[in-house]
Amino acid sequence: MTDAPALGTLEELPADYRAAMEARNLVPLWPSMRAFLPHGAPRPQTRPTLWRYADVRPLLLRAGELTPIEKAERRVLVFSNPGHGLDGLHCTGTIYVGMQLILPGENAPSHRHTPAAVRLVVEGEGGFTIVNGERLPMERGDLILTPALQWHEHIHAGTGPVVWMDALDLPLLVGIEASYALEGQKQTTRNAPDASATRYRRAGLVPYSSLGARPGPYPLLRWPWGEVRAALEALASDTDAGTPVHLGYVSPETGEECLPTLGFSALMLRPGEQVTLPRDSASAVFHVVSGSLQADVAGTTLDAEDADVIAAPVHARVTLANRSATNPAFLFRVDDAPLQRKIGIYERFAA
């Protein structure tokens, strides 16, 4: 690559010229050209960052004492990437992540909003989310979708705290100035299991009536962790050591990613295994469902345990090593690859 010539600066321009432009809402491009179009690769603000659940949990439980649900609507501590400034609520450039606490008897009221959200359940029994009247039980490791503009509320009918990780495309929606919410009424639920137990009980089988029909956008809203884990273990039994055991969550009707902007996948690291993920252009967030691992994210080494979260910037090289010689490690990944694919910029790199 040849070195590009340095471009002119703002300071080089006469003061009267700059003042005349400023008064007319005009700005010369060339002084900021390289900042907006850096050569060779993006210069993400997102820093490889680790949030330890051991640090988050006591602070989240304290929020349960300090702030009643009525005063919070959603009782969430946001994993704010320091590279973006803590007030920006960015985990990566496009992905927001937080951990939400709901206590027995509480109801986080029904609303809907333009950002799409998902939940990955961290701990507790008896919580559930209702999406458009579908009652979705929340058990450890379950993935629950609340797609853009769908009514959703959270209820806790059990005992003890219930905690889950929220991931939203909120920074993206804020960036395009399209983020807003509407409040709603408490939903009435059908007294039936969710679609993961009925219409989409098993991958590769769909309701016959859906064949050839135009698929609804979100046929399946819950992926129980037990099924995902069993699928990873089956795949691991037929995958060479060092090759990522990695499954993507897709719509059972279209086979495409289940949300338009964010992608979800699950990884298994066998005891002692180290894998380097294929490097790509997406930003990503990793959540440890269980296990103990060392991650190298764009040259930063981070040690993560159960329920810890790691942010990875766009274009990052990610290597994951299971630190246990006896137990597998399981990870859940959120990325913005579906968005990047739709706007035609998704890339996979050779190394």
Interaction site with ligand GTQ (CB under 6 A):
74, 76, 98, 100, 113, 117, 152, 166, 168
Report the nearest approach of ligand GTQ to the CB of residue 154 (Å).
6
Return the bridge partners of 266, or none.
247, 332
Closer Cβ to ligand GTQ, 17 or 180, answer by number: 180
Closer Cβ to ligand GTQ, 102 or 304, answer by number: 102
Report the nearest approach of ligand GTQ to the CB of residue 146 (Å).
6
Closer Cβ to ligand GTQ, 171 or 328, answer by number: 171
Closer Cβ to ligand GTQ, 113 or 140, answer by number: 113
How far CA 92 is from CA of 311, 322, 336, 337, in Å, comes to 7, 24, 9, 13
Report the nearest approach of ligand GTQ to the CB of residue 192 (Å).
23
Closer Cβ to ligand GTQ, 177 or 238, answer by number: 177
Report the nearest approach of ligand GTQ to the CB of residue 158 (Å).
18
Report the nearest approach of ligand GTQ to the CB of residue 35 (Å).
30
Report the nearest approach of ligand GTQ to the CB of residue 249 (Å).
19
Give me the DSSP letters along 205-243.
---GGGTTSPPPS-S--EE-HHHHHHHHHHHHTTS-TTS
Report the nearest approach of ligand GTQ to the CB of residue 1 (Å).
41
Report the nearest approach of ligand GTQ to the CB of residue 5 (Å).
46
DSSP 14: -
Closer Cβ to ligand GTQ, 166 or 308, answer by number: 166
How far is the C-alpha of 142 from the C-alpha of 122, rounded, in Å? 9
Closer Cβ to ligand GTQ, 149 or 234, answer by number: 149
Closer Cβ to ligand GTQ, 168 or 309, answer by number: 168
Residue nearest to ligand GTQ (CB): 166
How far is the C-alpha of 333 from the C-alpha of 280, rounded, in Å? 14
Buried-state track 137-169, b at ≥16 Cβ within 10 A, e below 16: bbbbbbbbbbbbebbbbbbbebeebbbbbbbbb
